Structure 1
């Protein structure tokens, strides 16, 4: 099932879904609108920069015991896209549309992962805050230079990649502005800054309230599946996770403490999580006694495939049971993931969190990263437009007030890789 009828049409989608903020002709007739979306994301500089941004372990660090690089935001996005494309196609979504959403969902994340996100949010608290998903929308619709239109005064104005409405909606994990969470107004998660509300309102045209479209739900579950399984795989491979400790009651209690409230609801019974872990370790393919040998590595790779298949097939079966056959697209369905499956996924996240992210050396590194970004933000604020790339220098010069100029500095820092943030920080620090 490829979601394309051979004539440029997308079964299950209408002309509104394929509309772009700025109308433009197709240079290659016969190619679908969603194929164009996918190609634009795949060839973007913002996607390439994810190769130098932290996923869990900092790229280039030697904390890994094995002779390979840890996963980055880019490799995670590629793996998420593969999971999402197949799951989406199985449920009737256009696969190129889901893949474009998966590839772009982390584009707005700054250097140093979620640690960098928190540091930038502190810096930007008086100009609208910082949120990686809202930054992704800003990149897709404003910052990534691909398409320009004429502004009111005839000057060129960027419309980013100018993706279709359906693609932007599919990439929107949190379809509300800051403070607009449907049940928790204080939630730090949101999908659009105040500056970007016009295009956000356009892409959400026709959406029922704050519901996520079906493709965004597929993207979100694919994201959960990819990072839970692969972070667990990397933790085992690096020697940070000992599979034998998963049987010790004292260790299990610590895992449940990490999971409850962060990865599962506060009212989750630890016995549910124990049952979820037991179901996984009871599987024939579970990587018992992992020792890093070639045979063990192959067995671990098979286990990751089994886990991804298990989580996706469970969601596919439950969703089909609820909605039957046919194409499930846009707002015609909700992705159904059984609670037992979500618990299994959450247990893997909690194991990686406990044994990889909570290591002492990682906390020391995160503290250093927060200092780097705070000092870099302070130095750029004092010197700007010095230190800004030409693109952001022009935006800084054109900004109407201090609030807008500060947002440009935030945009610049968010675009850096881990290495480029440290390089500029070192250069500006030497000049202080």
Structure 2
């Protein structure tokens, strides 16, 4: 067993390419967290869309603030369950590093333009960032980029969907789950980090990270909806409006139990901290913030109690346990997600700006793939020159575009797509 963290073995602290510790006062997992915290990919999240576009207001969250909030929730939840807090913290900080400009809208655009070469998936791109693209370490003999060269436990904690695009599981209705965590040309490091792991089963730390992500964005997206869009939760007292929210849960998340969502709404509305009225005053802002805090505590405490009831005390790590989330808690999370969808996310789907974002990314990818090294940042230009075929070169162009912030995507599109079209005179 490891001397650093109870519940972990020495192999959990292995790195894909071995390194000598630089200091004796930090664990390998603490070093992982620090590498992610200091990464350029994390900094870029400060100018990438969460639910509302970066720059749409001083209050709204970006991918960076969301990731910091996920890390806070995940660290405390993991610590209460016996995980190494730095492993969960690192995974939470890293979980969105692969997201492109414009959030999930940008993700869909890049998936469409790469359908013939394996598609684009934010989770697979995250693994690619931390194992290849982030400029931190290189192989001492070959010079091959190694990304952050994290430990096996931290890498596996990032993997929510432990399969590739050709191995998608299917739902009960026969449709594929369109989520995966590895592209085929990143398969070697994926196979290494998943050595001896049960097939298709995320590690316990990955399950904690995934729940922390769900809790954070379900709660905070409602908060952003209320403040930015002036949404009054009181309108959900109308049964038809509440059923409209339940319908969004079916359309967006596949949740079919309307009664469970309406029951969840009744439970939450019965608490004194449920903030139905909002007028922008300090008092209403404070009430809203208290509601978010109460919701996070409620969901975490219910999960801790349910998991401990099944698995008992002691460290719950790697593949020694499964996270147990009560059905009532799941219903409350989905309800909150659906509220944000109903009031904020669904209405924007048909907006011209939303369509423009997808067009900008698609056109930019094709322009960069055609122009090649002269249009790319130096590290991506090197990847382009080393690419063996058009498919690999297209993937490099996608890597470059996915790394950009929202504003940079527009700037690059203007430079490489719009400006060359203009007649010279």
TM-score normalised per structure 2: 0.95
Change (3 A) 1:86 1:264: farther
Distance 1:194 1:33 in 2: 28
Deviation of 1:400 (Å): 1.0
Q: Name 2:125's counterpart in structure 1.
A: 135
Deviations 1:110-159 (A, max 9, x none): 00000000100111111111000000000010000111114xxx641111
User: Out of 256, 268, 272, which is 1:284 matched to?
Assistant: 272
3-state secondary structure, aligned to 1:159:
strand
Q: Which runs of 5+ in 2 are unaligned?
A: none
**More divergent stretch after superposition (381-390 vs 128-137):** 381-390
Aligned to 1:228: 218
Instruction: Tell me which moved more, 362-371 or 404-413.
Output: 362-371
* Cα drift, residue 336 of structure 1: 0.4
Mapped partners of 1:139, 1:304: distance in 2 = 31
Distance change (3 Å), C-alpha of 1:258 and 1:361: closer
Whole-angstrom distance in 1 between the partners of 2:348 and 2:219 = 23
Q: 1:396 to 1:405 in 2, by over 3 A?
A: same
* Corresponding residue for residue 242 of structure 2: 252
Map 1:29-428 → 2, pairs under 5 A: 29-61=24-56, 64=57, 68-150=58-140, 155-184=142-171, 186-266=176-256, 268=257, 270-360=258-348, 363-428=351-416
- For residues 212-232 of structure 1, the C-alpha deviation after alignment (integer angstroms, 9 at most, x for no partner) is 110000000000000000000
Equivalent residue number for residue 20 of structure 2:
25
* C-alpha RMSD over aligned residues: 1.6
What do the CA deviations read for 1:360-411 (whole angstroms, capped 9, x no partner)? 4873221110111111122212212232111101110111111111110010
Alpha-carbon shift at residue 243 of structure 1 (Å): 1.4
Take 1:97 and 1:361, find their aligned partners in 2: how far apart are those partners? Answer: 36
Aligned mates of 1:217, 1:333 — CA distance in 2: 10
The secondary structure found in structure 2 opposite 1:156 is: coil
Which of 410, 419, 425 is the matching residue for 1:430? 419
CA deviation vs aligned residue, 1:186-217 (integer Å, no higher than 9, x gap)? 33200000001110000000101111110000
Q: Aligned pair in 2 of structure 1 residues 356, 261: CA closer, same or farther (>3 Å)?
A: closer
- Contact 2:123–2:180 (CA<8 Å) still a contact in 1? yes
Distance 1:76 1:203 in 2: 26
Q: Cα–Cα, structure 1 residues 361 and 117, in superposed 2: closer, same or farther, change >3 Å?
A: closer
What count of residue pairs does the alignment treat as equivalent? 417
Q: In 1, are the aligned partners of 2:170 and 2:176 still within 8 Å (CA)?
A: no
Q: Secondary structure of 2:139's match?
A: strand
Q: Give secondary structure in 2 for the equivalent of 1:187.
A: coil
